[in-house]
Structure 1
Amino acid sequence: MTGERAIEWDLPEPFCLEITVSDDDTDRLGHANNVVYVRWLEDVSWAHIESLGMTWALHEETGKAMAITRTEIDYLASANAGDRLLLGTWLTGYDGRFRSSRQFQLVRPADGKTLVRALSTHACVDLKSQRPARAPKAFAEILGSAVVAGGPGLAVD
């Protein structure tokens, strides 16, 4: 769009979700509420894995899902009602068995400012028991092939 600045993404070729901040997204301080940022992270995560073929139908078929085990969010600047934002994400790690990691960057194209940076880790769980489970082959193929080099990856215990 005219008047927007070039975005300096932390990693190349993010999967992006466009967001327009609504009045309902704001809190008493007049900016997007922290809970809304978490919802946006979840929305872009689902959209990304579904675009890679890791659909909910595949989750149901395998009886497995990747559940968030940790999220770290750095709030760098506020977003206000009416702001148009781009939320980029990358898969940055997959251990080949149970865990994956993802990086996020939320940018306001109008001024090129990064508003949020976040990291999340995920563990494969059995949908019935909710207990940790080895990722099915289909997940391993999708996650393994989508990992972007250069991100923080997984912290190995």
Structure 2
Amino acid sequence: MSESQSHNWDLPDPFILPITVREEDTDRLGHANNVVYVRWMEDVSWAHIESLGMTWALHEETGKAMAITHTEVDYLLSANAGDELVLGTWLTDWDGRFRSARQFQLIRVADGKTLLRGLSIHACVDMKSQRPSRAPKAFAEILSGALVPGGRGLPL
């Protein structure tokens, strides 16, 4: 059974990043700091789009990038130093022009409990001006081809 099949994922076939919580990831309360969870979400997002062919080289070639405009994080349970985790992500919406949505779910391997659920909204921007810009055809093809049905979409 693969890692993606061995957990109770919210959606099928997540892209997965395995994580071991390090001492330096924890805060004064002794559990993983909220900022670290957000960093992990960014790490899995980049790894996912790069695996789909949306590499940094493609970003530089097109002069476009998908920038986060909104993030929601529900911290459900804490993680502690030494915990083995798996962070899954899915592309769940793409408007075909500018905006995309991505969901996250963080699971502790030892007990299968979900520690976090999240959503991020991204907008295509021109890398020089930092202004909104229509996504290049290459981005549109990659994002369209990677959508997972049944997830949360873009807000109206």
Please show how residues 99-114 of structure 1 align to structure 2 within 5 Å. 99-114=99-114
Length-normalised TM-score, structure 2? 0.96
SS across alignment from 1:24: helix
SS across alignment from 1:143: helix
**Aligned residue pairs: how many?**
152
Alignment match, 2:46 = 46
Please show how residues 17-56 of structure 1 align to structure 2 within 5 Å. 17-56=17-56
Deviations along 1:94-152, one digit per CA (max 9) or x if unpaired, are 00000000000000011000000000000000000000000000000000110100001
Alignment match, 2:130 = 130
Deviations along 1:7-59, one digit per CA (max 9) or x if unpaired, are 10000000000000000000000000000000000000000000000000000
Superposed structure 1 runs of 4+ greater than 3 Å apart? none
**Separation of aligned partners in 1, 2:109 and 2:14:** 14
Length-normalised TM-score, structure 1? 0.95
Q: Unaligned 5+ residue runs, structure 2?
A: 1-5
Deviation of residue 154 (structure 1)?
1.2
**Separation of aligned partners in 2, 1:45 and 1:103:** 10
Alignment match, 2:57 = 57
CA-based RMSD: 1.0
Q: Unaligned 5+ residue runs, structure 1?
A: 1-5
